[in-house]
Structure 1
Amino acid sequence: MPVRPNFRPRLRPTVLAYSIAAACAQAALFSPAAQAQQQSDQIEVVTVTAQKRKEDPNKVAMSISAVSGAQLQSQHVGDFTDLTRVVPNISFTAATGNGGAGPGTSNIEVRGISSAAGAATVGIYLGDVSLTVGNVYTMGTVEPKFFDIDRVEVLRGPQATLYGASSMGGTIKFVPNEPDLKDREFTTYADVSSLKGGSTSYSANAVANFPLIADELALRIGVQTQRAGGFIDQVDGAGKVLANDINKIDDQELRVALKWKPLRTLTITPSFYYQKVDAKDIAAFNFELPPYQAQKQVREPSKDILQTANVAVNWDLGWADLVSSTSYFKRKFDRIQNGSAYNSYSLSTFLTSTEDGGNASPELIDAIASLPSAVNINNRVRQVSQEFRLASRPYDEKVSPWTWLGGLYFSNQHTGIDENDPIFGVNATFASFGYATPDPDLLPGWNGASFPGDNSFQGVFRYREKQSSIFGEANYYFTPSLHATVGARYLKGDSTLNQRNGLYLAGAGNNSSTSLSSTAFTPKYAVTWEVNPQHTVYGTAAKGFRLGGSNVFVPPTTCGQDLEANGLTQGPATYAADSLWSYELGSKSRFFNNRLSVNADVFYIKWKNIQQGVYLPTCAYTYNANAGNAVSKGFEFDVKAKPVSGLTLSASGGYVQAELTNDEGVNNGVLGAVRGAQVQGVPKYNAAVSAQYNFAVFGDKSAFVAGGVQWVGPSKGSLNPASTDYDRPGYHTADFSAGLTVDRYKFTAYVKNAFDNDTVIQHPQVASIVQGYRVTPRAIGVSVAAKF
């Protein structure tokens, strides 16, 4: 069946340990500049490209968290889940009906703009390659590994002017290391760690940089392989362990980039990235069983392959910079989901029992309900995109009071989903009870072709989305310290869905095509005042936008009762775009010769016509509709200090209150979507504190000790107060590490989730089974890195 009950874990548990963060940060840590910076009295400044120019983040009129490779390591940031704990006001929820907390199945939200229905609310970029995909029920956000990454930029608030649709909550950019035209370099890394009650994790990688022609041509290539240990055991009905540590994850990465500078003013950079994530199962356990045990008839592995290619051309025209970015993105995501709790059970409920005048005996009904079933899903995404940008020279009061940027963007994305839901042994079970031929009195609508090869549902879905837009921003400097920004983007999007559904659980079947066109004009206004070179205050108002789309077919034969309850005779073919306006005031300051930095902001967001999923409980289908408005408001802060040389202290956090402002949602069939209801999957707050001390030992040897604590506040896993996942608790984790550098080698010992917090952070219900997800157990490990 095409849509499963909507379970929405806020934070996917992860078994990736400190090793992954160390792997991506090693190049930064070993560079002489980075080591000198660590020992200096000043706080490191991470240059960003949030506005598609290289800038100091303190001069940009928006809330930005820029996390360098070195910071990723010192704060033990290993993957997306860890990032949500240390960067303010970011959260995760599971993709609608994803079947569990598996990699590649979550959606990311910023500032409470949380919706697992419709288009994405946050843009995801790997370099200049857009990896943004829609919130379809079978997959979630693309999750690039933190491998050979220079920095991660988290841009909070709508970024529609420069990044287009789906960047309504914000944008996350993964910026890889570029080839170096001057220096030859080879770095390598190895790590091993042990998970409490689970299996061993390991990681190994190597990155090499080769200047092929001095100052003209360079090649950078890196490879990585990893194993994240598992901690969930599969058991049978009697509690016997069938398999240990089933949620292990293997992944491999390859990155290749070439930089060619044939002219002083021209740079051409082709690059390629490959990633394969092979998850053996998901991290869910049965709530009524002992901790870390899962009773399931069908295992739930997945294989997620990502490939990106990009050719970036930068041409300095003297009076302006011309940039061309040509990108290709491909994702192949194959999953198996345990469908026993709803496919087999749903089929058994359609049987006409002897008490109702039918032929099905209680024994037959129970036999069908107990059969194992799988949901086999094959996802394919491919996209071609092209962007041209022309940007003026940086501001120079002697030349002009204006700076500007303008561009064109085109993209063509195809998403294909093939689903098959076998109920293993269904034909043989009917035959064993003497029903080898069709019998409408036994199963209404049953015919001889209803279960070919035991398959109960077959769906073929083909989405296509084309976008084209023109965008630009202009800055006018009233004085060198005061300027205003006006920007806008005009976007046109066309989407189509061709679908074919068949077999018994598809009802009467369907073969249809729907299409929708959307347009949007998304302006942005900002005022920036550099009070002095160390202090900046700003205010912004910006519009965000999501494209509308087409719905999966809802069969009226099996969902008629649910549709009638919502005042419908059939599921809506399409849903419309939604939009928001965001208002933000902020300040960015540096004190004591950049030994203390304090960034803070407040925001207020009005979100209209929200795309929401409407779940039909009887037939377990979902369609998307526009229902309800919401307001999200809150603040963020980020403080860093270097009170003495070698010691870096940091504290960051955010608070968000995201609530519905009317009853439209519940009037359209979204249970619990009433005025005042908290938007699901959004923690009330998150905060993190950390400290790192670098010092010398044994004369000239460099050493460090570091530690950090992260807090995540409570949230609602559902709008429906009757849901088992309605109240999700807050929790905290703590990480510690210490290291020593000897010549070319860096040795590190670490512990992640040091106090072994095992809070159950969610407990969604799948049919009659209540599942749970815990914080990943404590991991202890050691690593060694080297540079040659």
Structure 2
Amino acid sequence: MRTAKYLLPTLCLIVATSAEARHVSGHAPSVSVPATQLDAAIVILGRQTGVSIGLRDRRIATIRVRAVSGRIDAVKALDRMLRGTGVAAVQVSPGVFVIEASVPLRPKPKPPSRPAVPMPEPQPVMDDIIVTAAKYDRRLRDLPGMAAVIQGRDLSLAEGGQGSDAIEARVASVASTHLGAGRNKLFIRGVADSSFTGPTQSTVGQYWGDTRINYSAPDPSLRLYDVRSIEVLEGPQGTLYGAGSLGGIIRIVPEAPDMGIVAARGWSGLAFTEHGKPGGDAGALVNLPIADDTLALRALAYGGIDGGYIDDRRRGLTDVNRVETIGGRAALRATPGDGWTIDLSGNFQRISGDDAQYADRHDLSRSSALAQPYRNDYLLGELVIGKDWGATRLISSTGVVDQYVAERFDATPPGGLAKAYDQVSRIRMISSETRLSHSGDNGDGWVIGASLLSTTTRQDRTYDLQFVPIGGVTVLDGMVTGSVGSSGSLIAVPFFTSGVVGVRNRVDEATLYGEATIVPLPWLSLTGGGRLTHSRLSGRALDRPEALAFRLDQEAQGRRTETRFLPSLAISLHPAGPVTAFVRYQQGYRPGGLSVGTDIIQYYKGDAVETGEVGLRYAGGDRFDVAVTLAHTRWRDIQADLIDASGFPVTANIGDGRITSAGISVRWRPLPRLDLQGSVYFNNSEVTTPSTILVAAYAADRVGPPMPYAADRAGPSLPNVADASGLVRARYSAPIGRAYYLTLDANARYVGQSRLGIGPILGRPQGNTLDTGVELRIGDERRGLTLSLTNLLDKEGNRFALGSPFLMGGSNQITPLRPRSIRIGFDANF
């Protein structure tokens, strides 16, 4: 990358084209440019028209532009391509164009004077953001529903290494359990079922590009390096995304291979945690064109270590919860011509934790009989084929996901031998979707599609004694041995490992869906759609003890089918240019499955939600934006995990419920170099009609603390739903001398109080935490030095009141914030 010598005051990169303009007398050149990101599009257009096209700011290079085709000149092609993106082309001389932010297309402007220091341009304004997760391009200001778009260029390398935690830190409506990276569940808009990852499908659909990346598995927390954007759509999103999008969806769009440049990037960092061990991270990225305009490769590798900070008093160990992450991905893009693109990619990541990250008292320590390691291996393969005909686009994607999750929990009874509960989940998912969409210039558009999905989840569980010394007794090779008398003679008593029944669930889905937006009047938009899904469900108990046979008919296995139709309807009003008001109704659902407890094998039914939402959005240009929403959700046959008498999580339908939520987000730019953002979210939830299972769970509670809910209330609140949450962020840039600039980012996030789960055992308070951070970068576009600090106030808090479900009756469990940490990093571009 080079800094252009003759362009305006920003870091520029001329990324395309020949220096000479080619003018064909009598007719315009033939143009065919697919809908892609800006830097790739201008390379293609430049070669087809013979003009030279440059960028003033490399950060706008990742903006997605419209497809354009036909016999048109470069001026018209650029105008169509950039419409609605917040950037425009400026013709600086015959056959030479420069693209910059928020400037109308005009010929030959007078060049302004060049400042002493190249400064980063302001970020694109809110109303110019294109939401591609809608499956046909829609401007954020026109979208009938709440959405948040995080531009990948706004994520620092330190944030990218946090995975899904970085999304939670930037979007107030997103919440997470905090069992550990690779073990968590994500929630949006208060639609939260339970704290455990069992056979139930997630309430949040997660997507990597066009492929679903989870089903009935924990969040893989893929690292967010080299991503173009992250889009969060509040749910339900049943019409476009089907089952498992009750709370909404999170779509991560990776950067695509660039046909026009050879580039590389590397970074590394050292991290130091107060009260804990140091860590670090490193990574490298390369983009390599293989064949001009037709084939390119982009590859990334990374690794990181998060130092531990929890001490174990019983085992005499310090900083036990060290976590190691390694991963990488590669993408190959081919553009054979005539608007076709073919993308083949693979993604691998492994998260390995040495021990759990919970404590049992407020000094970052606990007493446990054994280590509780975990591992999440994640593998994703994806093939995406696209074809553009101007504003109409065909996408066909096929993805294969393989996920392996292994966890150990301390299940040692008070005063007894060390006992472990091991759970291994293997998830295989194959999905394929083909859709045809059209995006109009005035906000109208449509999409129709069909999809197939097959996922199999196998969960194996064991519950046994461990080979560890406890109180002078050693468990060794299947025998309990210990010293007897002064002679030191040994006695041996055999014991038996206890197997626990496992479960295998399979879901096959076939779907047809469609949605359309029409604009009958300039101030009115109507959106409607529906999704028809036929599902085949099957479940089977594994290694079933004979004693459990009477608890389930049909030999602990069964099959059934479901057919559901999910409608959606929305009305948008545009009474004034920057103002949009909307009303929206949509549904979502999850299929049922088979659940296994200590002494029962049972089916749980599918659950469903329906949500009505009203909202108001004001897009006031580049100075001020605000969005307000109010939503009410009804949830039928809620699937949730309870704790049975032995401490095992068991899935059941706990009744019907409702959620009322309200949110507001604001963005204000009081100064050209200062950007302020803030948002708050309020939730109120209740199980309005408890099921007999939940009532029985409360009735059976004879020990421990009193019931957390008064008897005259209709029911308990839903788990992990904070009554209030909010965040603020500030970003400021300033010149440093004549060669560098300084960027300062500061943030704070508050999460209100919630409860761990539903039921008398799980009704423990958590939350009410404040996390703060600041990041400083000094450098230019080629290299920089970064200083990041997190948890500035060194607060402990309690993010999650669970470590091991088997110890909940005897000890307090808290998951503290990571103590105050500092990261020093360096990055370089080549």
**Could you say which TM-score interval applies, normalised by the shorter chain?**
0.7 to 0.9
C-alpha change, 1:783 and 1:333, in structure 2 (3 Å) is same
> Is the CA contact 1:457–1:504 (under 8 Å) kept in the aligned structure 2?
no
Sort the Cα spacing of 1:652 and 1:43 in 2 relative to 1 into closer, same or farther, 3 A. Answer: farther
Offset, 1:599: 1.6
Candidates 215, 238, 242, aligned match of 1:133: 215
In terms of mean alpha carbon deviation, does 140-149 or 403-412 score higher?
Answer: 140-149
2:440 corresponds, among 383, 395, 400, to 395
Residue of structure 1 aligned with 2:137, choices 40, 44, 54: 54
Q: Is the 8 A contact 1:460 1:501 kept in 2?
A: yes
| Partner of residue 145 from structure 1, selected from 214, 217, 223 | 223
Q: Matches of 1:452 and 1:44 in 2, distance apart?
A: 71
Measured against aligned partners, the alpha-carbon deviations of 1:633-679 in whole angstroms (never above 9, x if no partner) come to 12112211222221111111211111122343666534368614221
**Alignment TM-score, normalising by the size of structure 2:** 0.77
Residue 624 (structure 1) shift: 3.0
1:248 to 322, 344, 348: 322
SS at match of 2:675: strand
> Within 2, Cα distance between the matches of 1:505 and 1:376?
21
Distance in 1, Cα, partners of 2:789 & 2:232:
26
1:698-729 deviations in Å (ceiling 9; x for gaps) = 12311122211111111122334x54852224
Please tell me the residue identity of whatever aligns with 2:682.
Y
The answer to whether the 8 A contact 2:290-2:296 is kept is yes
How many angstroms apart in 1 are the aligned matches of 2:543 and 2:639? Answer: 24
2:607 and 2:278 map into 1 onto residues whose CA distance is 45
- Which residue is 2:609 aligned to? 580
Cα distance change of structure 1 residues 319 and 655 upon mapping to structure 2, 3 Å threshold: closer
CA distance in 2, matches of 1:667, 1:104: 29
Q: Counterpart in 1 of 2:704?
A: none
- Pairwise CA distance, 1:202: 0.5
- Change in Cα spacing, 1:731 to 1:212, as seen in structure 2 (3 Å) is same
Q: Is the 8 A contact 2:597 2:649 kept in 1?
A: no
Instruction: Name the residue aligned to 1:301.
Output: 373
Choose the corresponding residue for 2:479, options 428, 431, 441: 428
> CA separation in 1, counterparts of 2:769 and 2:598?
39
Identify if the C-alpha distance between structure 1 residues 273 and 663 changes in structure 2 by more than 3 Å, giving closer, same or farther.
closer
Query: 2-side partners of 1:373 and 1:630: how far apart?
Result: 37
**CA 1:453–1:687: 2 relative to 1, 3 Å:** same
**Matches of 2:640 and 2:777, distance apart in 1:** 48
Task: Report Cα offsets for 1:578-635 as digits up to 9, x if no partner.
Answer: 11111111122222x3221112211111112212334332x44454332322121121
Matches within 5 A, 1:105-124: 105-116=183-194, 118-124=200-206
Q: Deviations over 1:480-530 (max 9, x none)?
A: 442211110011112212223357997999963122322211100011223
In structure 1, the partner of 2:726 is: 687
Q: What's the CA shift string for 1:24-60, capped at 9, x where partnerless?
A: xxxx999354798774456445432121133322221
The residue that corresponds to 1:168 in the other structure is: 246
Q: Which runs of 5+ in 1 are unaligned?
A: 1-27, 95-100, 346-368, 434-450, 556-570
Offset at residue 151 of structure 1 (A) = 1.7
In 2, Cα distance between equivalents of 1:148 and 1:496: 39
Which residue among 371, 389, 411 is the counterpart of 2:417? 371
SS in 1 for 2:813: strand
The more displaced of 711-720 and 744-753 is 711-720
Counterpart for residue 514 of structure 1? 558
Per-residue deviation, 1:196: 0.3
Cα distance in structure 2, aligned partners of 1:676 and 1:85 = 31
1:208 equivalent to 2:286? Answer yes
What is the letter of the counterpart of residue 409 of structure 2? Q
Which residue identity lines up with residue 102 of structure 1 in the other structure? G
Rounded Cα–Cα distance in structure 2 between residues aligned with 1:755 and 1:252: 30
Hey, what does 2:582 align to over in structure 1?
Answer: 538
**Deviation of the 1:316 alpha carbon:** 2.1
Match of 1:567 in 2: none
What code does the residue aligned with 1:291 have? D
Offset of residue 402 of structure 1: 6.5
Q: 2:670 aligns with which of 643, 666, 685?
A: 643
- Residue aligning to 2:703: none
Deviation of residue 318 (structure 1)? 5.6
Asked if the contact 1:680–1:716 (Cα under 8 Å) also holds between the matched residues in 2, the reply is yes
Give the Cα–Cα distance (whole angstroms) in 2 for the partners of residues 518 and 430 of structure 1: 55
Query: Which one-letter code corresponds to 1:281 in the other structure?
Result: D
- Name the counterpart of 1:529: 573
Counterpart contact for 1:455–1:503, Cα < 8 Å: no
Distance 1:767 1:504 in 2: 29
Q: Which residue of 2 aligns with 1:79?
A: 163
Residue 360 of structure 1 corresponds to none
SS in 2 for 1:772: coil
Output the CA distance in 2 between the equivalents of 1:47 and 1:589.
Answer: 16
In structure 1, what is the Cα distance between the partners aligned to 2:279 and 2:57? 24
Distance 1:597 1:292 in 2: 41
- Specify the alignment match of 2:815 in structure 1: 773
Distance change in 2, residues 1:283/1:532 (3 Å): same
Displacement after TM superposition at 1:276 (Å)? 0.8
Does residue 324 in structure 1 map to residue 396 in structure 2?
Answer: yes
2-structure distance, mates of 1:270, 1:163:
22
1:611 aligns with 2:611: no
In angstroms, what is the RMSD of aligned CA positions? 3.0
Paired residues for 1:184-333 under 5 Å: 184-236=262-314, 242-287=316-361, 291-317=363-389, 320-333=392-405
Moved over 6 A (4+): 34-38, 430-433, 503-511
Matched, 1:601 2:629: yes
Relative to structure 1, the CA distance from residue 458 to residue 724 in structure 2 (aligned partners, 3 Å threshold; closer, same or farther) is closer
- The reply to whether residue 705 of structure 1 matches residue 751 of structure 2 is no
Q: Are positions 1:406 and 2:420 aligned together? A: no
By relative contact order (CA 8 Å, sep 6+), the higher-ranking structure is: 1
What do the CA deviations read for 1:272-316 (whole angstroms, capped 9, x no partner)?
Answer: 1010111111101223xx612222222111121101011101112
Percent of residue pairs bearing the same amino acid type: 21
Structure 1 residue aligned with 2:521, among 472, 476, 479? 479
Equivalences for residues 738-777 of structure 1 within 5 A: 738-742=776-780, 744-764=782-802, 765-777=807-819
Q: After superposing the two structures, state which structure 1 stretch, 145-154 or 315-324, moved more.
A: 315-324
Q: 1:707 to 1:195 in 2, by over 3 A?
A: same
Residue equivalent to 2:618: 589
Q: What one-letter code is carried by the residue in structure 1 that aligns with 2:714?
A: R
Paired residue type of 1:334: A
| Alignment pair present for 1:380 and 2:426 | yes
CA contact (8 A) 2:643 2:762 kept: no
Distance across 2 between alignment mates of 1:428 and 1:286: 31
CA distance in 1, matches of 2:393, 2:170: 35
User: Cα 1:509–1:212, aligned 2, differ >3 Å: closer, same or farther?
Assistant: same
- Contact 2:598 2:644 survives alignment (8 Å): no
Distance in 2 of aligned mates of 1:453 and 1:265: 68
Distance across 2 between alignment mates of 1:376 and 1:488: 42
Q: Distance in 1 between matches of 2:616 and 2:449?
A: 29
Aligned to 1:162, what secondary structure does the other structure show? helix
Give the match's secondary structure for 1:714. Answer: strand
The whole-number CA distance in structure 2 between the counterparts of 1:340 and 1:506 is 24
Larger Rg, first or second structure (1 or 2): 2
What secondary structure is seen at the aligned counterpart in 1 of 2:218? Answer: coil
Q: 1:339 to 1:723 in 2, by over 3 A?
A: closer
Distance 2:540 2:693 in 1: 29
